[in-house]
Amino acid sequence: MGGDETSARRKDRPWLMRTYAGHSTAEASNALYRRNLAKGQTGLSVAFDLPTQTGYDPDHVLARGEVGRVGVPVSQLGDMRRLFQDIPLERMNTSMTINATAMWLLAMYQVVAEEQGADVTTLQGTTQNDIVKEYLSRGTHVFPPGPSLRLTTDMIAYTVAHMPKWNPINICSYHLQEAGATPVQEIAYAMSTAIAVLDAVRDSGQVPAERFGDVVARISFFVNAGVRFVEEMCKMRAFGRIWDRITRDRYGIENAKQRRFRYGVQVNSLGLTEAQPENNVQRIVLEMLAVTLSKDARARAVQLPAWNEALGLPRPWDQQWSLRIQQVLALESDLLEYDDIFAGSHVIEEKVAGLVADSLAEIDRIQEMGGAMAAVESGYLKAQLVSSHAERRARIESGEEKIVGVNCFETTEPNPLTADLDTAIMTVDPADEARVVAALHRWRDDRDEFRAQEALSVLKKTAAGSENLMPATLECVRAGVTTGEWAWALRDVFGEFRAPTGVSGAPLAVTAEAGTPLAAVREKVARTASDLGTGRLRLLVGKPGLDGHSNGAEQIAVRARDAGFEVVYQGIRLTPEQIVAAAVAEDVHCVGLSILSGSHAELVPDVLARMRAAGAGEVPVIVGGIIPSADAAALREAGVAAVFTPKDFGITEIIGRIVDEIRTANALDPLEVSA
């Protein structure tokens, strides 16, 4: 009888299943989307390339080597048409990972939907549109905090009135965890962002008070789930409780449905390893369980990384594997047949209560500073994240935090999945960039130039005033304006913003007492400086191109500082010319370049050539990032002194190797210093 009851029980509807995808060109990405939908994917998650995310056209100098690398290039309406060709947007749920240029991409999406004959009021999907975490962790911000918050506010007001099923913001704690956030920091910083956004919408006067519940109901969240899946599941329950309290007490929302915590997930890519990458499969499964096991805290949408993301760009087959992981759990297991299986657990309840209390205390601390935007501008949030990340890295290096295959159980059989490493990932054809640029030039040549310039003029006037920017942005789309032109028009009015790096405020993360590895490296640094007749060794840490993932660069900068280096670190988004100029002006002993976007093949040789032209060719250049083995060999052949990839997790050891390269470049004898 019990079996009959179980079989008759109605199963919950599965979450939306997505894969984060986009590469090369709009045409190639469109083909990928249609293949994924045919395999049973139930929503789209669009990855845009870095020029699109940061408001540059593909022919801009900073876009060189970045076009189509980590996502699809969309520089004008024609690209957006091709991206969604033969995909009926009226029946699609589309998530777009876009922030600084979110208004622009949403406007293009709306126009394409209109051209398909869709009713705009029925469109469903999400624009990430969380600029705070870009300042803190991902680095695709463009405008200062105030104007950025206005863009977000205008989008929310517009969608509530015209696209009521669209989620205009996806407050994103995912990248906070990747930048080192503890569960408490992830909750507190995301909730503080939500408060800043909701306060701004309320204070703008664009939404009538009686419709503010509609605003709250369209706020969604995008979170990270790490491998500590019990703690992560408790984090999600804590998120829900705090959101319910804030929306009820601070904003007076009485409708419980409008107060529901609505979230999607990408599980933790930071924890995926280059060493023994097959272990990433079980990590992904455990991380997914954290956000699906508990019915009362279950994600509304899930996208999983692929097992080989620490090696490079996943292939369609790798993404299919991750989709199948979701489908097996949802369709073959009995997960969706039960009420919340953790209800009544005193262990879970105690953990959740502790997270709630600690998170509320941190939220209060941020509010006392003036809120999330003030805490960004002061550097407080960034410094806290850099510090937390440094502490975690120190635990991994010491062996206190175990990473299987990295700092324990490192002996392994040959891996058939990576036997031919250079075919175990997807590569982007460098010729795609030229094709995208040529298409952009044809677009500009064929448009009504007067209408485009008039639309940009109206956009600037609107930005200088206080009216909602969405109508002017829609006219720019229809007039053929490009992504870079839209962003530059707003830069002219709003200015640009360089976020605090958080490096100078980060405390010492590892001890340097006599006998420790850091003490040995410190002695090595001091003796090398003495041998060279200089006060201190100087290291420039540079991030050329548009890659904003600065966690690794920041950790190298902090540890080099703690080892006795004078560190020159100017943050993200620099041209090779700017990096070389700084290296020459500061008379550095080594240049370290960090690139995770795949643009190393273009940008690193440019830096090397400029160093030689500036008379600094003897200064060693080292490179770190997600770099396939064939590329690493080519970089060394081009003159790079050393290449570091995610398998090189020992930061103190890396600093020691940097000193070795400085000694080699200056014809000094090798120096052995015991820990």
Rounded CA separation 57/48 (Å):
13
Mean pLDDT score of the chain, rounded to an integer? 92
Using only C-alpha atoms, the chain has a radius of gyration, in whole angstroms, of: 25
Q: For this structure, is 175 an active site residue?
A: yes
Kindly provide the b/e burial profile for residues 567-606, where b requires at least 16 CB atoms within 10 angstroms of the residue's own CB. Answer: bbbebbbbbbeebbebbbeeebbbbbbbbbbbbbbbbbbb
Q: For this structure, is 380 an active site residue?
A: no
Q: What angle do CA 540, 406, 319 make, to 5 degrees?
A: 90
CATH 3.20.20.240 fits 16-421, yes or no: yes
State pLDDT tens for residues 347-374. 999 999 999 999 999 999 999 999 999 9
Q: In the structure encoding, which two tokens stand for residue 660, read together?
A: 């070795």
DSSP 455: H
Instruction: Tell me the CA distances in angstroms from 384 to 4, 119, 154, 181, one per residue in order.
Output: 54, 45, 30, 8
> Is the pLDDT assigned to residue 206 strictly greater than 80?
yes
Rounded CA separation 287/322 (Å):
12
Contact indicator for 49, 43 with CB cutoff of 8 Å: no
Structure confidence at residue 2 as a pLDDT band (50, 70, 90) = very low
Residue 522 φ then ψ, to 5°? -60, -45
Q: For this structure, is 461 an active site residue?
A: no
Give the full edge-to-edge strand order of the sheet including 301-303.
16-18, 301-303, 263-267, 219-225, 169-172
Structure confidence at residue 1 as a pLDDT band (50, 70, 90) = very low
- Compute the residue count for the chain: 675
Q: For this structure, is 338 an active site residue?
A: no
> Is the pLDDT assigned to residue 322 strictly greater than 50?
yes
Percentage of the residues of the chain whose pLDDT score is greater than 70: 96
> Is the pLDDT assigned to residue 127 strictly greater than 50?
yes
Rounded CA separation 143/140 (Å):
10
Which pLDDT value is given to residue 6?
Answer: 46
Contact indicator for 192, 375 with CB cutoff of 8 Å: yes
Question: Which residue out of 133, 141, 175, 382 is catalytically annotated?
Answer: 175
Question: Which residue out of 133, 389, 524, 549 is catalytically annotated?
Answer: 549
Select from 607, 602, 600 the least CA-distant residue to 626. Answer: 600
Q: For this structure, is 549 an active site residue?
A: yes
> Is the pLDDT assigned to residue 171 strictly greater than 80?
yes
Question: Which residue out of 33, 56, 135, 174 is catalytically annotated?
Answer: 174
Q: For this structure, is 162 an active site residue?
A: no
User: Under CATH, which architecture does the 517-666 domain have?
Assistant: 3-Layer(aba) Sandwich (3.40)
Question: Which residue out of 79, 154, 432, 547 is catalytically annotated?
Answer: 547
Domain ranges of the chain: 16-421, 517-666
Which pLDDT value is given to residue 422?
Answer: 72
Select from 480, 489, 481, 486 the least CA-distant residue to 461. Answer: 489
Question: Which residue out of 23, 133, 235, 543 is catalytically annotated?
Answer: 543
What pTM was estimated for this model as a whole?
A: 0.88
Indicate the burial class of 19 (C-beta count within 10 angstroms; 0-12, 13-18, 19 or more).
Answer: buried
